[in-house]
């Protein structure tokens, strides 16, 4: 059976999913797994489509010191024990810069160009690229496809795309990109099926997780996003500050004596919910904590989320529906309810019973519709990978016929 492997690599984990390609070209999730604890307590875990365990095994620390080794161990397990040899591999890449507005086949040149954006996504980009290099070295004939979190936002109007800086910097690539695009693209494509009455309307999607952002979508197209040049902007996140006066960064460097590298590490790893609370970067732990600082961090997140909805509603010139997705958005009844309480001026009123059972539609009849739609970035990557693979084959066949 033909399969597509999807890889999402981080600093200490490699998540992967395997999709079977049915005869009619449909994708069916077959395996979901990850290698986590890389460099500390490596562990491979995997389940089948029904959630039944396929693997759960630990490894010595020294045996899996980095992402490349983790990928090789995972690949060996798929090949030797699951008899899976994929047609192609799709990768999530956080930052595509100005060069890439759609998925692309990976070669050494692509990897080199993507390395230029490492400073713009230091928590993700180096680790997104590591599996690509490993596969190029060990399986050079295996097609690989890069799918970008920035691509969905690349057709923003100039008013949304520009910063108020000299145009030459914009031309160099200093612009508002937006992120979580694979998630938003999935939601935009899912709405005609799950909520056709709003699919072509003015929709705000709240991707709320450890990384959090929102996107204004009209007619399936990204109009505006809370994130900009990097994934630091907008909503407060698990460890990232979100919207912040640039003068604060200048203060950290000029007055507090931080080096640029130290300031970068501080803004990406020590701020957000973690910095506000001093307790945790995990929303579940914060909600369960009796610490007043934890309660403040939660309230701050809710307040800022409501502010960002207001901004995006202004960009859309109205609001036809609100969609919650990602870890917090899909699973936290109370966070959804408390954000909605601040949006009554937009006609948002939740139905507590429907919200409590995580229904698709959680708003009261006659109010602005509010939905909970689980995202599926991995499926989006698999679809892009298969589409690009088939497109390449058709192009090759056409050239052969022409010759």
Residue 40: the pLDDT is 81
308's torsion region: left (phi>0), alpha (psi -120 to 50) or beta?
alpha
For the full predicted model, state whether its pTM sits above 0.85.
yes
Residue 41: the pLDDT is 86
Annotation marks residue 149 as catalytic: yes
DSSP 211-246: S-EEEEEETTEEEEES--SSTTSSS--SS---S--H
Candidates 342, 269, 273; CA nearest to 301 is 273
| DSSP label of 281 | S
Domain 196-372 annotated CATH 3.40.50.2000: no
- The yes-or-no verdict on residue 395 having pLDDT over 70 is no
Residue 39: the pLDDT is 77
**Residue of 66, 99, 107, 149 marked catalytic:** 149
Query: E strands of 60-184, at which residues?
Result: 88-93, 104-105, 144-148
- The yes-or-no verdict on residue 373 having pLDDT over 80 is yes
Q: Structural domain boundaries of the chain? A: 3-148, 196-372
Distance CA 235, CA 287 (A): 18
Residue 133: the pLDDT is 93
User: How confident is the model over 77-98, as a mean pLDDT?
Assistant: 93
More confident residue, 14 or 148: 148
Query: E strands of 326-376, at which residues?
Result: 370-372
- Mind listing the pLDDT tens digit for each residue in 64-78? 888 888 888 888 999
Helices (H) and strands (E) in the chain, counts: 15, 13
Give CATH superfamily name and number for 3-148.
Answer: ATPase, nucleotide binding domain (3.30.420.40)
Residue owning tokens 């992967």:
16
- Mind listing the pLDDT tens digit for each residue in 5-63? 999 987 778 899 999 998 778 899 999 999 888 878 889 999 998 999 999 989 988 88
Same fold across 3-148 and 196-372: yes
Distance of alpha carbon 314 from its chain centroid, rounded? Answer: 24
**Degrees (nearest 5) of the Cα angle 20, 206, 219?**
75
Residue 398: the pLDDT is 46
């Amino acid at each position: 059976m033909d399969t597509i492997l999807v890889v999402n690599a981080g600093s200490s984990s490699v998540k992967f999913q395997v999709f079977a390609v049915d005869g009619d070209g449909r994708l069916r999730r077959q395996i979901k797994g990850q290698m986590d604890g890389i460099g500390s307590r490596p562990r491979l875990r995997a389940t089948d489509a029904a959630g039944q365990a396929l693997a759960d095994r630990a490894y010595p620390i020294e045996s899996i010191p980095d992402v490349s080794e983790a990928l090789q161990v995972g690949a060996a397990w798929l090949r030797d024990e699951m008899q899976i040899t994929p047609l192609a591999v799709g990768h999530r890449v956080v930052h595509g810069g100005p060069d890439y507005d759609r998925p692309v086949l990976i070669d050494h040149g692509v990897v080199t160009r993507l390395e230029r954006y490492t400073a713009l996504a230091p928590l993700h980009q180096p680790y997104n690229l590591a599996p690509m290099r490993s596969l190029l070295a060990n399986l050079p004939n295996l097609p690989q496809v890069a799918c970008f979190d920035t691509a969905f936002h690349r057709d923003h109007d100039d008013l949304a795309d520009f910063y108020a800086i000299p145009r030459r910097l914009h031309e160099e690539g200093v612009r508002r990109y937006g992120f979580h695009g694979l998630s938003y693209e999935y939601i935009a494509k899912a709405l005609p099926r799950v909520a056709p009455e709003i699919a072509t309307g003015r929709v705000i999607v709240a991707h709320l997780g450890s990384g959090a952002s929102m996107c204004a979508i009209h007619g399936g197209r990204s109009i505006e996003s809370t994130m900009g040049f990097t994934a630091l902007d907008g909503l407060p996140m698990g460890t990232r500050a979100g919207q912040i006066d640039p003068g604060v960064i200048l203060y950290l460097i000029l007055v507090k004596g931080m080096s640029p590298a130290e300031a970068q590490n501080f803004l990406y790893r020590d701020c957000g919910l973690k910095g506000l609370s001093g307790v945790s970067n995990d929303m579940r732990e914060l909600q369960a904590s009796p610490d007043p600082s934890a309660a403040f961090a939660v309230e701050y997140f809710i307040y800022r989320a409501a502010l960002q909805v207001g901004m995006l509603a202004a960009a859309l010139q109205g609001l036809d529906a609100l969609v919650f997705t990602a870890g917090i958005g899909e699973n936290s009844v109370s966070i959804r309810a408390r954000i909605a309480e601040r949006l009554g001026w937009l006609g948002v009123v939740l139905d507590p019973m429907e919200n409590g059972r995580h229904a698709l539609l959680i708003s009261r009849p006659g109010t602005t519709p509010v939905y909970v739609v689980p995202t599926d970035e991995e499926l989006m990557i698999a679809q892009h990978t298969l589409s690009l693979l088939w497109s390449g084959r058709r192009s090759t066949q056409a050239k052969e016929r022409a010759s």
